[in-house]
Amino acid sequence: MKTRRLGAQGLEVSAIGLGCMVMPGFYSPGSEEECIATLHHAADIGVNFLDSSDLYGFGKNEELLGRAIKGRRDDYIIATKFGNVRDADGNPDVDGRPEYVFEACDASLQRLRLEEVDLYYQHRVDPKVPIEETVGAMAELVKQGKTRYLGLSEAAPDTLRRAHAVHPITVLQSEYSLWTREDEEDLLPLCAELGIGYVAYSPLGRGIFGGEIKGEETFSETDRRRDHPRFQGENLEKNLKLVAPVTEIAEARGCHPAQIAIAWLLSRGEHIVPIPGTRRIDHLDSNAAAVDIELSADELATLDSALPAGSTAGTRYPAGAMKMLKG
């Protein structure tokens, strides 16, 4: 597996990572045994970059990773996140207070069965706490040997620049794919300027480029995508049409549309690492094979023309979650 360097502090990871949010059952029920087998297979084929969060399964995801990596710690680069919480009424909230940073990190390390996590992100920026205070606490975690590198997720350009002035930010994680391209305007150039790596979550558009979504009937009753405007009614009908040019290129090459979507992302810069999520070994193998696909100039031009920024119908999250982005 090819590798890529994220940031300027020495973090080197597999050219694609494995998003672990779907383990176990974030979108739909899943088998723990299947997830652990996939995590082990990832290391076997050189996909060593695992992405988790204390939000996923409210800690159960980290516990699963802790069980899976036992005895194989050196095979993985582990990233997790803090900051997405629930308020007293059970509604989504964000907590970036320094005292919470320390508390959340200790809890994640316990669930992961680790003394140190490789990369620790603030999952969402807390507008109530100056970023300098939050990152200052995160920097203390580095000094304490509890994490090696720091990251932010879904941060605004000014926030990222201010955070980086307190302590080097190694990675910015944001949604980026053929149907979510807004960061090309400001955040991707800023990352290149500051020497910050960029991790692209939902690189397959939450499955839209996976070829299995045919309509709303695809989703189970518990599938969270049912709440996302892009996967509803006329929006979904319009968005499914955007997949056509990706599928055409894939058919001409004899590969899967998801591989074309990943190859496109990899072509956008050496500081970009996509983290497609899956529980299935066959999907993992297919995603990993995309690392060796080099799209031609004509193919790239076709995709850029067919799916320009802003072409997707609907917001990427429900209204409440949208308010928590780019803080």
Tokens of 199: 């991790």
The pLDDT score that the predictor gives to residue 83 is 96
The pLDDT score that the predictor gives to residue 327 is 83
Question: Averaged over 137-145, what is the pLDDT?
Answer: 98
In percent, the amount of the chain with pLDDT more than 70 equals 98
Please report where in the chains the tokens 């190859």 appear, as a residue: 263
Q: Is 149 a catalytic residue?
A: no
Report the alpha-carbon distance of residue 154 to residue 146 in Å, rounded: 23
Q: Is 73 helix (H, G, I), strand (E, B) or coil?
A: helix
The alpha-carbon radius of gyration of the chain (Å, integer) is 19
The pLDDT score that the predictor gives to residue 25 is 53
Question: Averaged over 101-130, what is the pLDDT?
Answer: 98
DSSP string covering 202-269, please? STTGGGGGGT---SGGGS-TT-GGGGSGGGSHHHHHHHHHTTHHHHHHHHHHTS-HHHHHHHHHHTT-
265: alpha, beta or left, given left = phi > 0 and alpha = psi -120 to 50? alpha
Report the alpha-carbon distance of residue 76 to residue 116 in Å, rounded: 12
Question: Domains plus CATH for the chain?
Answer: 3-322 (3.20.20.100)
> Using the 8-state DSSP alphabet, how is residue 290 labeled?
G
- Express each pLDDT in 296-325 by its tens digit: 999 999 999 999 999 999 898 888 888 888
Report the alpha-carbon distance of residue 165 to residue 154 in Å, rounded: 18
- Express each pLDDT in 96-111 by its tens digit: 999 999 999 999 999 9
Catalytic residue among 27, 56, 121, 176: 56
The pLDDT score that the predictor gives to residue 323 is 81
Q: At what angle do helices 157-166 and 131-143 cross, to 10 degrees?
A: 40
Among candidates 43, 1, 76, 20, which has minimal Cα distance to 291? 1
Q: How far is CA 97 from CA 101, 111, 137, 307, 323, in A?
A: 6, 21, 8, 39, 19
Residues contacting residue 313 through CB under 8 Å, at least 6 positions apart: 230, 234, 235, 238, 239
Question: Averaged over 155-179, what is the pLDDT?
Answer: 98
Among 17-26, 29-38, 56-65, 189-198, the range of highest mean pLDDT = 189-198
| pTM over cut 0.85 | yes
Please report where in the chains the tokens 């072509």 appear, as a residue: 267
* Summary mean pLDDT of the chain: 94
Question: Averaged over 7-29, what is the pLDDT?
Answer: 87
Among candidates 73, 78, 129, which has minimal Cα distance to 101? 129
Report the alpha-carbon distance of residue 64 to residue 52 in Å, rounded: 10
E runs forming strands in 21-64: 49-51
Report the alpha-carbon distance of residue 73 to residue 168 in Å, rounded: 25
Cβ(54)–Cβ(79) under 8 Å? no
Tokens of 175: 């949604």
The pLDDT score that the predictor gives to residue 29 is 61
Q: What sign results for the dihedral spanned by CA atoms 85, 78, 64, 153? A: positive
Give the model's confidence band at 86: pLDDT under 50 very low, under 70 low, under 90 confident, else very high: confident
